Structure 1
Amino acid sequence: MHRLFLIDELMFRIFALILGSDWLLNLLEPYSGRRTVARLARTCKTFEQPALDVLWRFQRTLDNILKCLPPSVWEMRQGNRDNGWVGGIRIVQPVTIEQWARARTYARRVRILDLDWALLSPDNSCFKAMQSCQVLTGELLFPGLQEINCNIVPYGYEEILFASGPTVHSVRMPEHIVNTPFLRPLCSILKVLTLLPEDTRTTTTAQVSELCLLLTDIQHLQVPDLDAAALRHVSQLPSLLGLYLFMDDISAFGSIPSGDLPFPNLGSLQFYRSTIDFAEHFLQRLAPGRPISELKVETRVPAKVDAMRRLYATIGDRVIPSTLEKLYIGNWTEDGHNPTPAPPRSAIREYLVDEDAMRPLLQFSQMRELTLHTPAGFCFGDETALSIAEAFQNITELALTSGTTLHSNIPNLTLNSLWAFRIFCRQLRSLSVELDASVNVLLPTQFAAPLGQPGASAWRLGISLNVEISPIYGSKAVARFLLSLYGERAPRITMADEWRWDDPDGLDVLLEDDEELDFIHDARSYYKTWTAVNRLLRSPDRTWLDADDDDESDEESGDDMWGEDGWSEADE
């Protein structure tokens, strides 16, 4: 045996690669990698211990530990979801220290418990037996445990915290665990604490805040809410790198003066189920010059342009321009099928974001991912698009769209705005923007490649273009424009909520408003024409380039946006 195999770290890496080397095989046969590692462990003594460490390191259920007990002390029972138990192992008689010996041997190797409510779950008798074991032996059942993750679990699972010790650095569980006494002793050593909000609040702001006051070395904190005292406390921790809040109540920190929260090393700040006003008031409390690299504001409450302008300005005032790389302000990502409600049509102009509102964001030259969803879209033109492209030359993902699809605003941007992103944003892979493709545009000759040819400065990346609900009349003219701009790397085109426009019945039966019905019908017409553009761009036959623009056959386009033959090899 070569002496290199005596290095534990090297063996661990080898076995870890075996576990995840063939993703397709693991998908079809989830335990194939584990079986391979087990076979290697049996080939020689050198492989045995590191292989066991890898096999037991990550556990998604407690069943594997409990099944190490003699079969006479446990049974597998079918559960009853009505009473909060989906079934699993149940302890049927007292377990002696001797009977725990084998289970304890393997439990020492466990580092991560990722317990899933969807899997078979032990009932409370198992937790009581575990506690009894620790009382009898005077030792922790999982002395090397580092992470505990429980997403949606029944009450009782929080008791697993009693079996963990000073090695635990990450806890992710529903918010009701703040009421268990086993969490408090861990607060001084935790690096990551995630309290998942529940549909029906089981805790108060005071309870969550009281727990957070015990944190001293936390790096990432996600909680439903915090009061002013707890917020002041965590803002002074130099260890805090990420703060994630489910809050929309401005009064929670009304007593904190502007610029009073230091957050010296905060890199990620994210608000979920929040409002634009809350985010703006929170950012006002930050000291200027914060090194934030990722900022997210998720909301379903429409905000007028004045509120958006204040938020953008505050971001520009509080965040170091050279650090911000990811900015998301828009719909809940967890609720993609239920976007922000549309603002009243009579007040649509009050919700349109203009160039002046955008200007404070243009200083963030290192931006790589920018998503701005506004209630009614944007009202700036092609010149502003040029300014945006020049400002964000490192951008890879850009989305400037309406937070709702049921609106009647005609975008000011034309197809001609795309050349700015084509020239200045050389790393751009995904672009979502509303365009007016119904007007005639002429690509500047200095930027255009010969039709159908890649050109000297060809676009080297396959780009995805989401046009939302963009008006378009005439597929050939638009296809020519895109082909001359991008060459054979012409973008993949999609529309927002395609299922609505592809359904012959769609939402018609649900809508009584004539304007909404007209919008639905227009959107379906746009969908057909954009589909035709896709088919022309993907077609190997380029004879249409010389065809008359009046000879359109949009209605004969396919049933989807992808074309019969899918994407060309150039797009892969």
Structure 2
Amino acid sequence: MHRALHIFEILLEIFAHVNKIQDWQLSHREYVFTRKSVAALARTCKTFYEPAMNELWAEMNGLTPLLGCVTRLYPMIYCSGKEYLWFNPPDFRGIEPLSENEGRQFLRHAARVRSLHLMMKDYYFHLFSVLKRTVPCMFPRLLSLSNPHPKIYSDIFLSPTLRRCELCVTYPDLKVIATRCATLERIYIDTPLESRYVDEKIAEELSLLSDCLCLCKRIATLSCPSLDFAAWEHLSNLPTILRVTIRGAKIDPPPLDLSDNIRFGHFLNLTALSFSVNTDTYATALMQHSEFPSLKKFEMRVDRFSWAEVERLVRVLSQRKACQTLEHIEIRCSRSSGVHNPPGSSLTITHFRCFTQLRSLRLDIPLCCIHLDNVILLEAMSSWPHLRVLSLKDNRQTRGTITFRGLFAALRQCPHLLRLDLWIDAVNIISIYIPTRMGCGVRSGNGG
């Protein structure tokens, strides 16, 4: 054997390359071939055994292969004439829990697992009753965990080395996460839907979530339900936080208790902020009380939006330090709140002219007329020399006042433009698609 193959780092690169095709989109044949290839490397020689086994068990979709290491369960998994994939595990209901000796067989390779994705069809949690009493953590090297079970939740899956987790948990379980995994860097937390509709529980749930997050000092990416003031205050002073996504409930969270003399920290390194909520009140209140000097991406998806609320949100955004850094803005509304544009008024894109670093601007707000003419479009696009995508959806389909001449004059201001989606005035033309040398297309019609 070549001397280079005795270098551990080189072996790791080779085995990682062999195992790299493991993916969600793999066919069954490809999946089996990949695992057999890595297993064959482990059986080649003693030098290959440890790095190959570490690679073989590094990423697990379900625990069925690990349970196959238990002598009693091996025939059920591999010798029954059926081939089980991670998304179609055997039904272990009615099977006796693992004994202490069988638990050691399971833990033999569980210590090698670094990424674990559990599935809703997994029916093996009762098998670990002995391990729950004797082992503090079944996966001591685990870095990433995805557990969609809101009711079948166990702290034996939580490792002190955990860096990334996607959990569907009840709020009381958050205390366990905070105490066992204080070094988390990426957190995705979902909760059972039934807890979101009880008004009297909201304040308590927000407090529990806040207590959990305040114990995590290294969060970089966070996706969770609405947060209270204490949680936002903690995040605003956290230098590691880069991306925050708030997924609201069917009902609005209690408004943030912010007075005029209260200021959050500056969110110094936050680059992406996304809200998916019922109304804009929660997000607008937050944006009013911080500067976001590094923010590059802002997304807002709301169920109800009126013209006045749109104007207010845009005005708040333009007054923050983020106006100097924002590159991507997307504001979408599923339906109007019933407040149409006041007579003689309309939402213009002039409010966005201060965002001189824009690469992408997408607005989709039903019943809010986006007023455009040749002058406004030219002035706006002159302010965005880096623009690549401009999409303005006006579902009221009022007649546009942009002509082809005005359109082409504006296009010259944005040499990097790839996509343009808006209504123009094309008299006597029912539908036309105009390709340009920049690769963008324009939809137009007789109705707007």
Q: TM-score, normalised by structure 1?
A: 0.65
**Alpha-carbon distance in structure 2 between the residues aligned to 1:429 and 1:373:** 19
**Alpha-carbon distance in structure 1 between the residues aligned to 2:441 and 2:374:** 21
Note if 1:389 corresponds to 2:371: no
Q: What is the CA RMSD across the aligned residues, in angstroms?
A: 3.6
**Structure-2 residue corresponding to 1:147:** 144
**Alpha-carbon distance in structure 1 between the residues aligned to 2:162 and 2:63:** 17
Q: 1:20 to 1:435 in 2, by over 3 A?
A: farther
Q: Is the 8 A contact 1:74 1:92 kept in 2?
A: no
Displacement of 1:107 in angstroms is 0.7
- Please say which structure displays the higher CA radius of gyration: 1
Q: 1:33 to 1:302 in 2, by over 3 A?
A: same
Q: 1:180 to 1:312 in 2, by over 3 A?
A: closer
**Structure-1 residue corresponding to 2:311:** 309
Q: Which amino acid aligns with 2:425?
A: D
**Structure-1 residue corresponding to 2:26:** 26
* 1:482-501 pair list within 5 angstroms: 482=434, 486=436
Displacement of 1:15 in angstroms is 3.3
Aligned to 2:177, which of 178, 183, 194?
Answer: 183
**Alpha-carbon distance in structure 2 between the residues aligned to 1:321 and 1:7:** 51
Q: Which runs of 5+ in 2 are unaligned?
A: 81-87
SS of 2:256's partner is helix
Q: Is the 8 A contact 1:187 1:214 kept in 2?
A: no
Q: Which amino acid aligns with 1:65?
A: L
Displacement of 1:258 in angstroms is 5.2
**Structure-2 residue corresponding to 1:263:** 267
**Structure-1 residue corresponding to 2:85:** none
Question: How many positions carry a matched residue from both structures?
Answer: 427
Aligned to 1:362, which of 344, 349, 353?
Answer: 353
Aligned to 1:340, which of 335, 338, 346?
Answer: 335
Q: Which amino acid aligns with 2:179?
A: P
Q: Is the 8 A contact 1:73 1:95 kept in 2?
A: no
**Structure-1 residue corresponding to 2:188:** 194
* 1:135-284 pair list within 5 angstroms: 135=134, 138=135, 140-150=137-147, 152-156=148-152, 158-159=153-154, 161-176=155-170, 178-179=172-173, 182-201=176-195, 204-247=205-248, 248-249=252-253, 251-255=255-259, 257=261, 259-284=263-288
* 1:8-47 pair list within 5 angstroms: 8-20=8-20, 26-27=26-27, 29-31=29-31, 32-47=33-48
Q: Which amino acid aligns with 2:193?
A: D
Displacement of 1:194 in angstroms is 1.7
Q: Which amino acid aligns with 1:340?
A: R
Q: Which amino acid aligns with 2:375?
A: E
Note if 1:300 corresponds to 2:294: no
Aligned to 1:112, which of 103, 112, 115?
Answer: 115
SS of 2:107's partner is helix
**Higher helix proportion (structure 1 or 2):** 1
Q: TM-score, normalised by structure 2?
A: 0.82
Q: 1:12 to 1:72 in 2, by over 3 A?
A: closer
Aligned to 1:429, which of 418, 428, 440?
Answer: 418
Displacement of 1:154 in angstroms is 4.8
Q: 1:72 to 1:390 in 2, by over 3 A?
A: closer
Displacement of 1:241 in angstroms is 1.9
**Structure-1 residue corresponding to 2:391:** 399
Q: Which amino acid aligns with 1:122?
A: Y
Between 1:229-238 and 1:12-21, the stretch displaced more is 12-21
**Alpha-carbon distance in structure 2 between the residues aligned to 1:19 and 1:167:** 23
Displacement of 1:168 in angstroms is 0.7
**Alpha-carbon distance in structure 2 between the residues aligned to 1:252 and 1:180:** 22
Q: Is the 8 A contact 1:26 1:33 kept in 2?
A: no
Deviations 1:183-228 (A, max 9, x none): 1313522112221144322662222223223222222222212222
Q: Is the 8 A contact 1:365 1:392 kept in 2?
A: yes
